[in-house]
Every structure is written in structure tokens, then in C-alpha cells.
Structure 1
Amino acid sequence: MTTARQTLDDSLRGTVLTLPPGGQRRRLALDGRPRPVARAREFTRGALDDWSWPGADDVVLLVAELVANAVLHAGGLQDLVLHATGTRLRVEVSDASRTAPVPREPHQPSTPGGHGLHIVRTLSDRWGSTLHPAGKIVWAEIDAPRS
């Protein structure tokens, strides 16, 4: 069975990323800012365009889901960090809660709500969360396409 991720990777072979040596890290402070999901999408789209990162629509959707979850369920959004290297893109969203996110299981596509972490899990190669003194970081990683 071919997954959507494998199909995307196969269609992007030969894609050349435009990153400085060692990659690049970009941070967007979102704490208390209006329209955080829209700001995060715009910020992400700009970074991905600068880096020539393929599959931008999927990454923007993943970021929107992580930011929306922080706003709705995690005690307040703090910031978004994108870290791209020649081998992967790491998305980090920090929030004020120390409670780890848990996907609703089983995933029920026909019911409203509960789809955010399922989308994150589907679009990323890895995801998880890490505690820090003021809350946690929910992160997702996407492997760079292989040339």
C-alpha cells in the first residue's frame, strides 16, 4: 500500500532546498496576538517559500492544527518555531499547559471535532511533546524529500 506521504515524496524527487549551511530557524511570537492561526499560516508559508520546501500546503495545515490546538486546549499559545535543515523540517508550538496532547481514539471521521492530532499524525513523520518550565512544546517533524 502506498501512503500519501510516500506519493508526495516520490513526486518531489530532485527538489532542491534553498537553505543556508546548517539550516535555518525562524520564530514567531504569538502570545496575546490577534488572529494567531492566520499569522502562523502566513509566517509558515513565507518561510517555506524562502526555503523552496515542497508540500507547503500540508505543512501549513499541520501548523494551523497545532496552533489551533494550543489556543483551544492548552492554556494559551506562546510561539511557533520552524527549524529546517537539509534532512528535516521541525515545527514547534509552545503553550502554557503541561498536559501532553492525546489524540482521540479511535479517530471517528464522521463526528465533529477531534481531528487535529489525527491530521498532525498523518502529515508528519514524527510528532510529540516536551515539557518546559512554563508549559510544553508540541512538535512535529517532516523528513526532507530525498533527491
Structure 2
Amino acid sequence: MTTQIRTLYEQDFCLWLEETIKLLEEGRLSNVDLAHLLEELIGMSNSERSALENNLTIILMHLLKYAYQPEKRSNSWRVTIREHRRRISKAFKKSPSLKRYFAEVFEECYQDARALAADETMILLERFPAVCPFTPDESLNPDYLPN
């Protein structure tokens, strides 16, 4: 790998991407800035996982608010739930392996959602169940809302 391509990463990321693509297409693997390429690929994977966690946490927080503050239910809450379910559904279509990660982080996301719901609603954290009252399937079901 030339020092030039490595320097390019710091100076012009878009051009670095274009040059890296070109090198890969031409099969000139020894010229590829492998360290930065791996860094970017790992970052992309982490970004997909982080987006999944954020979307799931928002869904669970709004489901809790919907269940525990029926008098404050709004179209805005339903739209938020629907939008974040849609985002997860699209992510699963694009990357089916994220379903496994979804299962791994479901309870952790619920705990985050529980704390956020307590902060937002001013309901004591202890009033929300310690274990998620919604199944993973319910949380993603476009027709499900708690009573």
C-alpha cells in the first residue's frame, strides 16, 4: 500500500473511498489501505446495530407511555411507534442477521426504555415492570398497542 492512499484517508474521505473501490475492482489488493478499510467496515456494522438499539428503545419507551398514561395517548405516539417499527423492519430486510442481535439486546433496550419512560412521564421507575411486559413480536407488530 502506498503512503499516498493512507494519507488520502485523512485528507479527503470521499476520494479515499473512490480510490479504494477502484483498487478493489482492479484486484490491486496490496495497494488497499486495509487498516482504514477494516475500521470503516467495523464502524458500519456497529452503526447498524446502534440504529437497531435506538429504534427498539424508542418503540419500547412509547409502548410503556401508551400503557401507563392512557389519558395522554396521542397520534404522535402512535406515529413514532409505527415509524420506528418500520425502520427495524427495513433493517431486517436489508440485514436479516440483525434479528439475532435484536433478540440479544431486547432486554437491555427495555431497561433503557424503562428509564427514559420514567424520566419523560415522571412516573417512578419502580412502577414500570422490571421485565418487559411486551414480547419481541408484540413490539414489532404493526397492529399491536397495549390496552
Q: Same fold (TM over 0.5)?
A: no
TM-score using structure 2 length: 0.26
TM-score using structure 1 length: 0.26
Instruction: Name the structure with the higher strand share.
Output: 1
Instruction: Name the structure with the higher helix share.
Output: 2
